[in-house]
Amino acid sequence: MNNRQLIIIPILMLCSGLNTLYAQGSQPAQAWYGAEFLVLDHLLEAAESGNAELRSAHARWEATVEKSSQAGFLPDPRLSYGYFAEEVQTRTGPQTQKFGVSQTFPWAGKRGLAREKATRDADAAYQDYLARRLKLAREIRVNFYEYAYLSAALTITREHLELLKLMESVTSVRYAAGRLPQSTLIQIQVEAGKLEDRIQELESLRIPISSRISAYLNRSSSVPLPWPDISAITLPKIDESVQRRAMLTNNPSLKKIDIYAEKEIFALKLAKKAFYPDITVGLDYITVAGGDDPVMAMVSLNLPVWRNRLKSAERESMKRRAGLEATYENSRIQFSADLDLMFYQFHDAVRKTGLYRDTLIPKAEQAIEVALKGFETGNVSYADLVDAERSYLEFQLTGVRKLADAHQRRADIEALTGRELIYLTPDERNKQ
């Protein structure tokens, strides 16, 4: 086997091996930690129960539900006691002390409206919980795919470094025999040094990204998580119209604003009810020394006479609702614009993933084969061969970077719309 063959064979093996990053089938699902592969669904399931911030948001929602259940009840009855410091003389004897009990009854409809207002607060707290849940899922997905990219980048770069090391050993032999200039050897050594630095940089990122993912599950560990299964990552097409509709109906921020606007409807009705008095009924029992003890029934009303204050409360509620409606419209427009950008970034990343996978990477492989043939005939230098190998490396890294970018943008879309992406074939899309 000659020196050229020592270089040609590993390069062809490298081309075949790196393509498996796109072509292999998926592996069986494993447990999320301590398994052969890290599985995204297992991470999301573990975060549901393990994330402390999500549990805190859930507890706040439950507390608000308990608070809302307290609204709408009658106010506590009042018990009163009076002692006559100077006895009141009556025909049957002196009055010595008095006991009383009373109960206030709000005007008809006030309690129901108060209950509806409090229920909207609980609904809004639930949307806060859902927003935190969606944000957590997005953060896990983004970091998972960053971790997946890191794994693929390390695999690709290590393969290319092995190739350069082999080329360096062959070049050293030929340089020692006086058949190649020293500049060729130095150039290959420089390229190998660059790859070693890149590998060290990528390896140093594993612990921070792994720790960040573990932190979302409320775990702290210096042991890195297993690598994701790169071969299981694919990118079907999506149905944008479904996602746009989902944003309007599922986005927690929009729903929260809508809930608060609905709350102001009941607040306005309650403000109108404030023009009507509450009724208090009661009984007084008076003790008389040596005589019959009288019992007195009592009815009282509060007098809502400060009409300007009550009208101001009505205007306050109407202004709040108008402000919430404006906020909703502004948020809807902003979220729609954000979604447009996310769709562009997603489709652009998908397009470039296909471009690199189907066009640029195969062309780079062809360029290496041409450079190898030219090198065999002496028409291509080592420098040209290294340039072809460098281009192939960068195309491989860019391809997996765009694949990860597409999935990260997918996570952004799902967090904004509150719905997992709907994948449809063209025929399925035309049927809708």
The residue count of the chain comes to 432
Lowest-confidence segment of 2-6, 80-84, 130-134, 379-383 by average pLDDT: 2-6
pLDDT tens digits along 26-71: 333 334 445 578 989 899 999 988 899 999 999 999 999 999 989 9
Give the separation between CA 211 and CA 140, rounded to whole angstroms: 12
The predicted structure's pLDDT at residue 223: 85
Under DSSP, the state recorded for 228 is B
Specify the amino acid at residue 411: A
Q: Is the pLDDT of residue 145 over 90?
A: yes
Which class is 3-75+118-275+309-431 in CATH? mainly alpha
Q: Which amino acid is at 384?
A: D
Q: 379: part of which helix (H) or strand (E)? A: none
Identify the burial level of 326 via C-beta atoms within 10 angstroms of its C-beta, where 0-12 means exposed, 13-18 middle and 19 or more buried: exposed
Burial class (CB in 10 A: 0-12, 13-18, 19+), 408: buried
Distance (Å, whole) CA 62 – CA 60: 5
In 3D, which of 264, 316, 254 has the Cα closest to residue 121?
A: 264
CB within 8 A of 216, min separation 6: which ones? Answer: 43, 47, 51, 136, 139, 140, 143
pLDDT for 22: 43
What tens digit of pLDDT does each residue of 336-350 get? 999 999 999 999 999
Contact 315, 396 (CB under 8 A): no
Is the pLDDT at 276 greater than 60, yes or no? yes
- Check residue 3 and give its pLDDT: 47
Which three-class secondary structure state does DSSP give residue 286? strand
Domain boundaries, given as residue ranges, for the chain: 3-75+118-275+309-431
Classify residue 231 by its DSSP letter.
G
Coil/strand/helix, residue 330:
helix
- Is the per-residue pLDDT at 6 higher than 50? no
Q: In the numeric block, which tokens belong to residue 387?
A: 């340039």
Q: How far is CA 141 from the centre of its chain?
A: 8
Q: Which two tokens stand for residue 86?
A: 């100077």
In the 3-class helix/strand/coil scheme, how is 3-54 assigned residue by residue?
Answer: HHHHHHHHHHHHHHHHHHHHHCCCCCCCCCCCCCCECHHHHHHHHHHHCHHH
pLDDT at 219 (0 to 100):
87
Please, what is the average pLDDT of the chain?
Answer: 85
Segment 163-205, tens digit of pLDDT: 888 877 877 887 788 777 787 788 888 888 999 999 999 999 9
- CA-to-CA distance for 334 and 132, rounded, in angstroms? 20
Are the C-beta atoms of residues 64 and 73 closer than 8 Å to each other?
Answer: no
With contact defined as beta carbons under 8 Å apart, do 34 and 226 qualify?
yes
140, two tokens: 């896990």
